Amino acid sequence: MLEISELRKRFAGGPDAPDGKLALDGIGFAVRPGRMFGFVGANGAGKTTTMRIVMGVLQADSGSVSWQGRPLRHDDRRRFGYMPEERGLYQKMRVAEQIAYFGRLHGMSAAAARKATEDLMERLGVAERRNDPVQALSLGNQQRVQLAVALVHDPEVLVLDEPFSGLDPIAVDALATALQERCGSGVPVIFSSHQLELVERLCDSVGIVAAGRMVATGAVAELRSAAGDTLRVVVRDAAPGWPDGLPGAVTVSGDRHILRTTSGDDQEILRRALKAGRVEHFGVERPTLTEIFKEAVT
């Protein structure tokens, strides 16, 4: 299990901000093996800073990151796979050499790195470009090489910062499948994304971060049910004032009245609605992750 607890980080300030910027204010969460953890939050909320601290690229002012019950060390991180927010590859290095080089850096033997590189290039569809310099590849193919660099050593943990940004829908599906495969083999996966539907579809649990704090965390289903069900009733051609005395809020759209409420007796509401006009819709809705997110960060 990967546990992040009470991370604090303040960036040094300039002349205009002598106190600096508090990037992380005690953020903490845990990712279990074989789980996919979605990390969401507005820009500047602290997602990238957290991931960089997990990967040892930044030092936290306080707090800890532990892996399998003990503090995470440099040698552990060598077995992690990392895709930073800012993509980076050696532009002039050949595709196969580059992937294999990162395999070696992660501690693989030359032969093992070569074999893993071949397999990955085949699976990600860049095998025929193996001897081209990276700069000759399309952006989409460069992304695949970037992913290969993160996966080549069969990592124990995957930390991916915005892995889906800039991908076309087909590439998104391919990447999602690759991540689910890794996850299925017991690897904890953390990724950040602004595509909340994608997070909702892929992740077992999510963390919503705002201003350097974790404002909500848990399984997606739990978060949704915890946020409470909303009863939504749509009545057509009703006289104004029919819902007086009922809980919730009513919005009017043309000749339709839409009532939303999280409390009250649903049967009573239905009877009143039927009496008032034509009931087009009557149902319980769970908030989407997007709604929970908006609720949590405002």
Among 2, 7, 55, 209, the residue binding other proteins under the rule CB under 8 A is 55
β-strand pairing of 2-11 with 21-31:
antiparallel
149 binds other proteins, rule: CB under 8 A: yes
Out of 34, 101, 270, 288, which residue is the one contacting other proteins (CB under 8 A)?
101
Nearer to other proteins, 92 or 294 (CB): 92
Question: Residue 217 in 3-state DSSP?
Answer: strand
- By CB under 8 A, the count of residues binding other proteins is 28
**Closest CB 151 distance from other proteins, rounded Å:** 12
Q: How far apart are CA 156 and CA 175, in angstroms?
A: 18
Query: Would you tell me how many other CB atoms lie within 10 Å of the CB of residue 254?
Result: 6
Burial (0-12, 13-18, 19+ Cβ within 10 Å), 117: buried
Residue type for position 298: T
State the CB neighbour count (10 A cutoff) for residue 284: 10
Q: Which of 1, 17, 105, 274 binds other proteins (CB under 8 A)?
A: 105
Q: Cα dihedral angle (213, 218, 221, 226), rounded to 10 degrees?
A: -70
Q: Which of 10, 87, 114, 194 binds other proteins (CB under 8 A)?
A: 87
Question: Min. distance of Cβ 77 from other proteins in angstroms?
Answer: 6
Q: Give the range of 27-35, 84-92, 115-123, 280-288 binding other proteins by CB under 8 A.
A: 84-92
Residues that bind other proteins (CB under 8 A): 12, 52, 55-58, 74, 77-78, 80, 82-84, 86-93, 101-102, 104-106, 149-150
